[in-house]
Amino acid sequence: MRKLIFAVTAAVALLVALPSKPAAASSCVRHCSPLLDAMGWTLAAGLAGGYAYGTGYFIYHDATDATQTVEYGGAELGVNGALGLLLALGAVDAGRDGRVGSAVGFGAFSALHLTLAVHGGWRVYDRRGDIRPSSDVVQRFAYLGYGTNTLLWALQVPGQHGRGYGIAEAAVNAPIAAGLGYLAVERGRDGKIGPALLFGGMAVVSGALAIHGVYTAVAPWRPRVEVFGADFAPTVVSDGREVAPGLGAAGTW
């Protein structure tokens, strides 16, 4: 298992290290140390070897081992699903930049990993009778899911978003806030102050995100164009009977 973890870590590091665009010419053609170059090539070779080992591990066992466990299927699904999505994004980015060769290469490796992920998902389904998670495991996954969801929305709060984004943010986080609030009240009634405070704090965070979503949906960001010190933005104009699209202007005249 430790070998597998090493291989997966190396593969992810390799993908992160791959440049999405051609690098600019180095400015240290004559001053870079040959030792640094050797270390860089050694690291790249090690990462490529780890990636090859990890991928080959799954391919070999899929082809030769008919007694795979549900844990193996879960690992295969998680690792290759993540790698497949990353490579698919790389293929899309390369295609947008007009790098056809890179797009084809990324796409081929993405298809390979997604195929392995599908096999892992099928193995988990086939061995679903062996899944007996404890309450602690379920709780940890719930906390992980909550943390991931909250972090993703919170990191995007400073951005400029439209009405659709606001509706989605409120629709996702409002039910979470309500559920956590209910759990906080129930734990408080049972005299469990620690869990009540924890769920209450989580409910407040999700509630704040839901409120931000509602505000964004009601007052979404609109692009503005500044001309001679005045801001212009799309708006709706009316003569009292008919409405039509127009431009609104604000600023110092």
pLDDT top residue among 241 and 12? 241
Q: How far is CA 116 from CA 38, 52, 187, in A?
A: 34, 14, 43
Per-residue pLDDT reduced to its tens digit, 73-103: 888 888 888 888 888 888 888 888 888 888 8
Phi and psi, residue 219, nearest 5°: -125, 75
Single pTM value for the model:
0.47
Per-residue pLDDT reduced to its tens digit, 12-54: 444 444 444 444 444 454 445 666 667 667 777 777 888 888 8
Confidence at residue 154, expressed as pLDDT on a 0 to 100 scale: 86
Angle between helices 100-126 and 34-64 (to 10 degrees): 40
3-class secondary-structure state, position 244: strand
Q: Find the mean pLDDT for residues 123-129.
A: 84
The angle at the Cα of 133, spanning 129 to 134, to the nearest 5 degrees, equals 145
Query: At which residue do the structure tokens 């505000």 appear?
Result: 215
| Confidence tier at 248 by pLDDT (50, 70, 90) | low
Confidence at residue 203, expressed as pLDDT on a 0 to 100 scale: 92
Domain boundaries, the chain: 2-18+36-130, 135-218, 223-253
Confidence at residue 9, expressed as pLDDT on a 0 to 100 scale: 44
State the CB neighbour count (10 A cutoff) for residue 32: 12
